[in-house]
Structure 1
Amino acid sequence: MGHQRTMRRFAKWHIWLGWLVGFPVLMWTVTGLVMVAKPIEEVRGNHLRKEVPERALPSDTQIAVSLPAESTRPVRSVTTQVERGETVTRIAYMDGSTARFRPDGSAMGPLSEVEARLIVAESIDGGDKVVSSTRFDADAVPFDFRRPMPVWQVALEDGTHVYVGADTGQIEAVRTRWWRVFDFVWGLHIMDLQTREDTHHPILIFFALLSVIGALLGCVLMFRRRKARIVAK
């Protein structure tokens, strides 16, 4: 009798937990299905990136670039490559900023709108079909970029947003329409629509724990039902 009472209590708890976590479990399942509906490379827009052939540096290129005398920022990396027919040395600083220099050591200014459009047209399939281009400061970037750096947003006819760093002169992100859908359902999946980055917060942990308890109770009750069917035979 004690065993039966315990099982009945488990069954009652299982029903109440089912009502409580039913919607979150359904939401996790649906959002998970949406997120695996397309390959992650396509979500990230990698399929839109063209294969831009690399070009060797001219034999007389001066690799070394003198830093400005007033600069005391620690350097993280220095790279030199040919971009659109011009040799560019890019210095990335430890504070996250980037500066570009010509072979003679002169600094290159922030990317212009025309340059940003040319980079997109050269590097992205359909990049010549531009609807608009807008420059954003580091502290006011669009939500689908979410990185504190000045960028040009080049919006294409198919709804893709290509972000080109105003200081880096490189494509920093490709945000397709599907990426924005993916980003929204990811926020639902982790129950964080505000930043869509916090996977460790009390609400998510609470409902995940309740779901685990409900699943364990369901497993226990399966043995009860199986035993009841055996007895009935």
Structure 2
Amino acid sequence: MSALKTRLRAQLLRIHIWLGWLVGVPLILWTLSGLVMVIKPIDEVRGSDLRSEPVAIPATLAAVPPQLNGRPVQKLELAMRGARPVWLVRYSGDDSRAADATTGALLPPVTAAEARVIADGALKAPGKLLSVRRFAADANPIELRRDRPAWRIVYDGGLHAYVDADTGELLALRTGYWRGYDFFWGLHIMDLQTREDTHHPLLIGFTAVSLVTVVLGFVMLFVRQRRRRKQSPSRSREGLGEGMS
């Protein structure tokens, strides 16, 4: 029986070692990426501290309903585009437009110059402008994470501001740290392509194997402690006998 237990412990040890090699790299990446993601507050990562205070909608505004042209609408919102009150019209589907809140007239798509003005106005301290580029809804950089036509305004220091090309909304601010954070987030969930899928088979499989490895390690530690406690009395008796002789 003792020989069987010894062989079983040896087999469990070999399994634990091989599992440790298998999940060692993912565990290191999970720990490293987790550390990167908690170094800074999430609001700072998102650039919320870089935004200026939003302009309040005038209390005296007599908003004129937007011209919907007979299209079904899911949602209407009042907002400020700089100093201009506008309606944000959310049509059925993914289409959105802006309308002048004082006349109800639909506004044309945002130009590059307008996008820059909107981005500058949304920042406490706009940096030096490096470039302005428009992206189609299906060709946006991965960092935007929105299927909307957008202008990307690039400032020195690595700050990117994204302005909706149809509505003029500030969709996102992306700092250099955010991009690093996003890369490590992709490592954390093992999805560097879209960085959004948190339940794919690879992640679930490695997580399950890691759990088995940790549990097996605790079992082996418990068994070893029991062996030591059982061996301690016999060793004490042997030492006592030698002392009496």
TM surpasses 0.5: yes
Show the counterpart of 2:66. Answer: 65
> TM-score with structure 1 length normalisation?
0.91
Q: CA 1:81/1:182 → structure 2, altered by over 3 Å: closer, same or farther? A: closer
Q: CA 1:41/1:62 → structure 2, altered by over 3 Å: closer, same or farther? A: closer
Query: Do 1:77 and 1:91's aligned partners in 2 also have CA atoms closer than 8 Å?
Result: yes
Q: Write the distance in 1 (CA, Å) between the matches of 2:138 and 2:158.
A: 24
Q: Deviations over 1:45-95 (max 9, x none)?
A: 111111123131545x24322321xx43x2111123443332312211121
**Where do 5+ consecutive residues of structure 2 fail to align?**
236-245
**Where do 5+ consecutive residues of structure 1 fail to align?**
none
Q: Deviations over 1:193-212 (max 9, x none)?
A: 11111111221111111111
Q: Deviations over 1:19-55 (max 9, x none)?
A: 1111111111111111111111111111111112313
> TM-score with structure 2 length normalisation?
0.87
Q: Write the distance in 2 (CA, Å) between the matches of 1:196 and 1:80.
A: 32
Show the counterpart of 2:34. Answer: 32
Q: Which one of the candidate residues 71, 76, 79 is aligned to 1:78? A: 76
Show the counterpart of 1:123. Answer: 122
Q: Does 1:192 align with 2:194?
A: no
Q: What amino acid is aligned across from residue 95 of structure 1 in structure 2?
A: G
SS at the partner of 1:108? coil
Higher radius of gyration, 1 or 2: 2
Q: Write the distance in 1 (CA, Å) between the matches of 2:29 and 2:82.
A: 47
Q: CA 1:11/1:51 → structure 2, altered by over 3 Å: closer, same or farther? A: same
SS at the partner of 1:139? coil
Which stretches of structure 1, 4 residues or longer, exceed 3 Å deviation after superposition?
Answer: none
Q: CA 1:147/1:182 → structure 2, altered by over 3 Å: closer, same or farther? A: same
Show the counterpart of 1:99. Answer: 97
- C-alpha deviation, 1:144, in angstroms: 1.1
Q: Deviations over 1:156-185 (max 9, x none)?
A: 111011100011211001111111111111
Equivalences, count: 229
Identity %: 41
Computed over aligned residues only, the root mean square deviation of the Cα atoms, in angstroms, reads: 1.7
SS at the partner of 2:138? helix
